[in-house]
Structure 1
């Protein structure tokens, strides 16, 4: 038995053509099948919709009233299908990304540019916040993807590492004479320290590393952004814990200098998170694909 929506589609075509046989050609159905479908619809609605004559069919008064609504509904469905096709083909849509300021500046912008060049009609909505804030937005459905610091302890999220990063300590010119060529972490803790605020993943990661060495930190300054860490170190307010990959401009120009530790701080990564049981939109899927292709093809392993 044909479903109700299909019956209304047949009804609409028959009403436009004024003929079962013409409607059958448009629908790629047999004429008896079209006739049976309209009889079924009339039985289900318990009302006659067509006046049947040797020359064809005309709508009854009730059929004309129904056709007004069915015609509007069919048009809306067609518009909806066309819109879905636009979203699928990435000719329309929105990409909502959660990201921190530092990762946005030093990692995300290149990929946004590539995506926008290829799909200029997709709109961006960028939400800024700490990793924990972004995870909350992701779980609430406020963003499609979050690009943040790993590790993220959240089993409901899929995590795609994209770039290895390294935590280092940097200092300004004043500390050149105060620090030996190589220093232990214990000795480093005796100097004024500049860290990100406690709620950041980067800060928590370093605290865990230092605790494994039996050390607790009491920073001179706790700041809300990576760029401020660099600027505070630049004017010799202390030794800052920063991400090496996001500090290259200062290091290459000799504005800041990397502390040479006698033991390595384990690397970590930044990457993409999304909710496991929620399918990615076509725009989100393509954006992830662009990042992966550019990282693997152009940059190679981090």
Structure 2
């Protein structure tokens, strides 16, 4: 059975060609098949669409009106198909990424650059937030993927670790004598501590580990950004809990020193998350592949 869409394609081609035989040739159909399609459409609409002329066929008034709409609709469908093909070939489209400021600065930027160099027509939208906020945005459809601090306990999300990170404590010059030897966690928590705010996934991970040892944690300062935590430590306001990989500029230049812990906090990961129930776009799929397979 010929679909209504196919009938309109035949109708429009006949209208453009002003000939059944030319339309048949353009559509790789027989002339009787074209004639049959037009008769079927006229029957369904209960309207005559063409009149025969010495040179071929021409529209009736009703046919001319229908052509205006049908031709526009088919053009829009064709444009839509081209857009889909462009998305599949990564020559057009948008990639919406959720990421925290610190991960964006110290991890994500080289991957954004590499992706953009290969697929320059893909538009980026970057949404910032904490891990908890980004998971909520991801589940509401606000971003395609989120780069988050793991672990995350959410069965609706696919979570793929990208690289390991180490939580550590750093201090400024004022504390060098006090921290000259290795410390236990019991000894550490008696010092003025600087942590990220409690809603941070990084803060919760370290806090949960310390509490699992039966140790109560009461930070002196709770701040909203990793960079601010580092700056507070640099001016000797306390001992800061930071991510070693994201604090290397301060540690390697001697602005801050690491606390030697008798028992190091277990490593965790930064990873990419996306909804299990929603298929990733071609752009998001390729970006995840770059994150997982390339070390930049």
TM-score between the two structures when normalised by the length of structure 2: 0.96
- CA-CA distance at 1:196 after TM superposition: 0.4
| Mapping 1:115-126, distance limit 5 Å | 115-126=115-126
Unmatched 5+ stretches in structure 1: none
Question: Partner residue of 1:281?
Answer: 281
Unmatched 5+ stretches in structure 2: none
Question: Partner residue of 2:69?
Answer: 69
| 2: CA distance, partners of 1:255 / 1:23 | 78
- CA-CA distance at 1:56 after TM superposition: 2.9
- CA-CA distance at 1:87 after TM superposition: 2.0
- CA-CA distance at 1:271 after TM superposition: 0.9
Question: Partner residue of 2:230?
Answer: 230
Question: Partner residue of 2:164?
Answer: 164
Question: Partner residue of 1:217?
Answer: 217
1:29 aligns with 2:35: no
* Local SS of the residue matching 1:217: coil
* Local SS of the residue matching 1:57: strand
- CA-CA distance at 1:180 after TM superposition: 4.0
Question: Partner residue of 2:241?
Answer: 241
* Local SS of the residue matching 1:240: strand
- CA-CA distance at 1:39 after TM superposition: 1.3
Provide, for residues 94-149 of structure 1, a one-character-per-residue CA deviation record: whole Å limited to 9, x for no partner: 11111100001001111111111112222111111111111111111111111110
Question: Partner residue of 2:56?
Answer: 56
| Mapping 1:253-272, distance limit 5 Å | 253-272=253-272
| 2: CA distance, partners of 1:161 / 1:41 | 57
* Local SS of the residue matching 2:164: strand
How well do the aligned residues superpose, as a CA RMSD in angstroms?
Answer: 1.3
Question: Partner residue of 1:87?
Answer: 87
Question: Partner residue of 1:128?
Answer: 128
* Number of aligned residues: 296
- CA-CA distance at 1:220 after TM superposition: 0.4
Provide, for residues 156-178 of structure 1, a one-character-per-residue CA deviation record: whole Å limited to 9, x for no partner: 11111101011011111221101
